Structures are given as C-alpha cells and as structure tokens.
Amino acid sequence: MREFKTLSKTDPEFLAYLRGTFSSSLRALPVKSLNVSTPGETVTFEIVPVKDIQRPGALKLWAQVFRLRNFIYVLFPLYLILTKNIFDEVEFDPILAILSGFGALFVTLGAFLLNDYYDHMKGVDRIHPESGSQAIQKGWVTAGATKSWAVVYLGFGLLLGLPSIWVFPELLPMVSVPAFVAFLAWISPRLGLKYKRFAEIVVFLLFGPLLTVGYQTAIGAGFDIEALWIGILTGWHFVFLVQLKNFESVMVNSQAGFENTMSYLGFERGRRALEVIWFAFIALMAGYQWVYHSKDWFLGFVILPVIFSLGFLISLRRLKSPVGSRIREVMRMGRVGALLTLILWTLQTLFYWLVIETLA
C-alpha cells in the first residue's frame, strides 16, 4: 500500500515536505495533477523511502541534474567570441578569458538549478512533470539540496568573474542585469519570471548580447560591433528554441494561466510566429555573413538553414492539434534544424582555423 500525504500551503509542514527536509530517510514526491488551474494551493505527496528510489548511474545522474546539454547555449557564444578575436588578431587576456568563461558557466549552472528549485516550489513541475532536469520530481535529489548547490555555484561563478569586474568596471552594469532578473524571479509572487509575457526579451539579452559583449569586455578585448552581432544571433537562436518549447506546451500553459507569448498568441497565430522568428533568424544571420564574411558564406547561410528547416516548416503548417505526438515531432524537427545551423556556424569557424593553419 502506497503512502500519500496532502498538505495545503498554510500547513506548517508544507515547506519542509516541498523542500525535502522533513526526513532524511524518506522523500516526498509531488503527485502530478491534471487540474492545472489550481497549482500549489494543496499538494499531494507520495512518501517513498530513499532506499527505494531508483537512480541512474552517477554520470547520467549528474549530467541530468546539471543539464549539461544546455551548456551549449553558453559555451557556443563564448567560443565564437574567442575565435573571432583570434582570427581578427585582437589581443585579450587568456587568464581572464578562462576565469570569466568558467564564471559564466557556473552562473548558468546555478541559474538552471535555481530554475528547477523555483519550478518545484511554485508547482510548475506538477503541471509540466516532464520539465526541468527531473531530478527533484523523481526524488534523486531534494529541492533544498538543489537550492544550496545553486547558491554555491552562483557564488563561485561570481567569484570567478570578480577579477574581470575589478579590471574592467564597465562590466558592472552588464552583471547587474542578470542579478536584477534573479531578484525579479525571486519576488515573483506565483510563477517564475519566465511565465511572464515578453520574458523572451530577458532570455534574448542573457544568452545573447549581454553574454557576448560582456565576455568580450571581460577578457579585455574591448567592445566591438561584431560581438554585438554574434550576441543578437545567439540570443535570437535561444529565443527560437524557447518558443518551440512554449508552443509545444501551449494548451497546458493556457489552461494553467501561464502568460507567455505563445499562450497569448494561441495555436494558429503561434505557429505563424514560429515561422517569423525562424526567418528573422536566417535574415539576421545572412546580414551578419554579408557584413563580416563573404557573399559565398552569405548564400550558404541563407540556403542551408532553409533546407535544414524545410521539413519543420512544412510539417508546422500541416499540424492540426496542440496535443499528441505530431506536435512533439514537429518541434523536434525545429530543434534539429536550429542545431544544424549552429553546426554549420561551427564548421565555418573550423574552416577559418584550417585557413590560419594553412597560411601559417
């Protein structure tokens, strides 16, 4: 016989169960609710002994907890900035490049963990049980421990960034933006900041211009327009991925009252918006290639991304339901198209490395 416990927000034990601090030998796993319009007022937990929880191997567990896959969104822009400076023979400080690079990684790691923690505390993971790292939902780690690690990694990240801030105080305003965002997320009463309309602007800035221009400044290479271009592209690319995810959840998000651009636009207008966002990305990429590379690259970056995303664009138009396997498949095609475009961009930088090697 399974053991369940239902607690309301006003119950003194509520937070201890939600954070997982009520017992060292038991875990309280929140049970999924289909009644999405009432998240978080009461929560039903399944009480499971820690020893009965099945965990994957250590490597898989930590890869999933830390969501290593998502690191590409930080590492790739940093890689582009470094290669750009090397190709353009711009001088930068390698020590600061390493320190601030790891700093950005640790801050991202902390932010993802904090995101999982708040999704859990605010009931988002009971509405979207498949969201986040799954580590808290499956009882592999407690929410309390997740938050503690998040704080440690955020602190460690900021510590690694301090030398750059000390040397280049103009970085301070750029660092204060993420800090302000974290503060807003903290005080957001019901759901996280990401469930506000136009949160994608924040996402765009954090994974785009703020990251690339911030890193360019942090390593001592000085501000330049190309770093801003790169940031606009990586930020826009990330926004496209976020919108794919939001479109996939458009029904549940709308039912739960989550406000984001996709739930505002709805199914029909939402898929048009996805097309617009993707074509705008191709246009921005083409513009970047035209200005900073050659006409051949320009053509390649117009034609190939369209080819990569052709299946996605056709299937998106044929999509007829906001639930089911097809919407998942179409969104997967969109992600593949977007990933192939990043691979193409990587190949371009490798081509330049090859040219440098050959010339050397």
Partner 1 sequence: MNLKIYDPKDFPAYLPKLNTLYDDLFSGGKGFRAKLIKMVGDQIALDPKSEHLLAQTIEFIHNASLLHDDLVDRSNLRRGKTAAWLRFTPEYAVLAGDYLLARVMVNLSGHGNIRLVQYTAEIISDLLEGEWLQDSLVGDFGLDLSQLDRVHNLKTASLFKWCLRAPFIAQERYEPGLHTGLEEAGTLLGQLFQRGDDLLDFDVRNNEGKAVLGDLKSGYMNSFAAFATSEMPAEKRAVLKECKTVADFALAIGGPDKFAAKLAEFDQKNEFLIQLYQHHLKNLKSYLKPEEMKLIDKLLPLTELLYWRRV
Give contact residues for partner 1 (rule: CB under 8 A): 1-2, 4, 6, 8, 31, 33-35, 38, 41-42, 44, 129-130, 251-252, 320-326, 328-329
Distance of closest approach, residue 322 Cβ to partner 1, in angstroms: 7
Distance CA(337)–CA(328), nearest Å, equals 14
Give me the DSSP letters along 2-33: -EEEEEETTSTTHHHHHHT-S-SSEEEEEPP-
Q: Which two tokens stand for residue 40?
A: 């978080």
Number of Cβ within a 10 Å radius of residue 140: 20
Distance of closest approach, residue 63 Cβ to partner 1, in angstroms: 23
- Output 254 or 309, the one with its CB closest to partner 1: 254
Distance of closest approach, residue 324 Cβ to partner 1, in angstroms: 4
Distance of closest approach, residue 79 Cβ to partner 1, in angstroms: 35
- Output 35 or 148, the one with its CB closest to partner 1: 35
**Residue found under tokens 């690191």:** 71
Q: Please, are residues 197 and 243 in contact by the beta-carbon 8 Å criterion?
A: no
Distance of closest approach, residue 188 Cβ to partner 1, in angstroms: 23
- Output 49 or 324, the one with its CB closest to partner 1: 324
Residue 357 neighbours by CB under 8 Å, 6+ apart: none
- Output 2 or 51, the one with its CB closest to partner 1: 2
Residue 163 neighbours by CB under 8 Å, 6+ apart: 95, 96, 99, 100
Distance CA(166)–CA(145), nearest Å, equals 32
Please report, as a single letter, which amino acid is at residue 328. R
Distance of closest approach, residue 101 Cβ to partner 1, in angstroms: 39
Distance CA(83)–CA(260), nearest Å, equals 35
- Output 42 or 134, the one with its CB closest to partner 1: 42
Distance CA(66)–CA(63), nearest Å, equals 5
Distance CA(163)–CA(57), nearest Å, equals 37
- Output 38 or 148, the one with its CB closest to partner 1: 38
Distance of closest approach, residue 215 Cβ to partner 1, in angstroms: 40
Q: Please, are residues 150 and 114 in contact by the beta-carbon 8 Å criterion?
A: yes
**Residue found under tokens 């939600």:** 18
Distance CA(33)–CA(134), nearest Å, equals 16
Look at residues 80, 30, 50, 108 and name the one whose alpha carbon lies nearest to residue 219. 80
- Output 67 or 128, the one with its CB closest to partner 1: 128
Distance of closest approach, residue 37 Cβ to partner 1, in angstroms: 10
- Output 44 or 349, the one with its CB closest to partner 1: 44
Distance CA(208)–CA(77), nearest Å, equals 8
